Amino acid sequence: MPTPFSDIKRLLLHRRHALLTGASGLFLILLGGNVVAGWLLRLAPILPENIHMVISTASCMALYGIGLLLALWRPHGRAHRLPVLLILFIVAMVAAEHLSGRHWWIDFPELHAWRHDVVPIPGRMAPTTALALAMLAIGMWLLPAARPGRLQALRACVLAPLLLGALGPPLM
């Protein structure tokens, strides 16, 4: 039987989790929106020699933020899956571009052309970034992960992007 102290401890942990999730969601929305605004307004970057986040990646970040806030608002609902579907669509389009070598509308090359980065195709999301975003989207799709099998799949979806980030440059 749970003690009153354990109930208070669980409630405090839940509130911290909700605060962290909400703050992360807002940060991702602001980050994605800020990057898109920077590309549209042609603002000078803070780090000039850095390869920058492209519009499709920034859009996915903002969609992740929206998904986190929706998952927080309706913890047992499925409203967070709509942004996940949009992310998976964007990532699938990027993967199709990489595999086919054709230019589709997802790159926005004309918006990225003014910035002379070292990337071969302006505006194209890196394949490892697309794979990492897909894994995170699948992980968000699995929420809430109450069953042990779903929890293990969720852990794999969270750890895979970390591994891709650590091994990213050798894989490209």
pLDDT at residue 1 in the model: 54
Both tokens of 87, joined, read 């992310």
Higher pLDDT, 84 or 47: 84
- The whole-number pLDDT of residue 171 equals 55
**What burial class does residue 15 get, using C-beta atoms within 10 Å of its C-beta: 0-12 exposed, 13-18 middle, 19+ buried?**
exposed
Contact 75, 102 (CB under 8 A): no
Segment 17-50, tens digit of pLDDT: 788 889 999 999 999 999 888 888 888 777 666 6
- Nearest C-alpha neighbor of 86 from the set 111, 67, 103, 70: 67
Confidence tier at 58 by pLDDT (50, 70, 90):
very high
CB of 36 closer than 8 Å to CB of 58? yes
Task: Spell out the domain ranges in the chain.
Answer: 24-171
- Contact present, 114 and 143 (Cβ < 8 Å): no
Sign of the CA dihedral 148, 154, 160, 163? Answer: negative
CA distances from 91 to 22, 56, 77, 79, 86 (A): 24, 9, 24, 20, 9
126: which residues sit within 8 A by CB, 6+ positions away? 168, 172
Q: What residue type is 149 in one-letter code?
A: G
DSSP state of 80: T
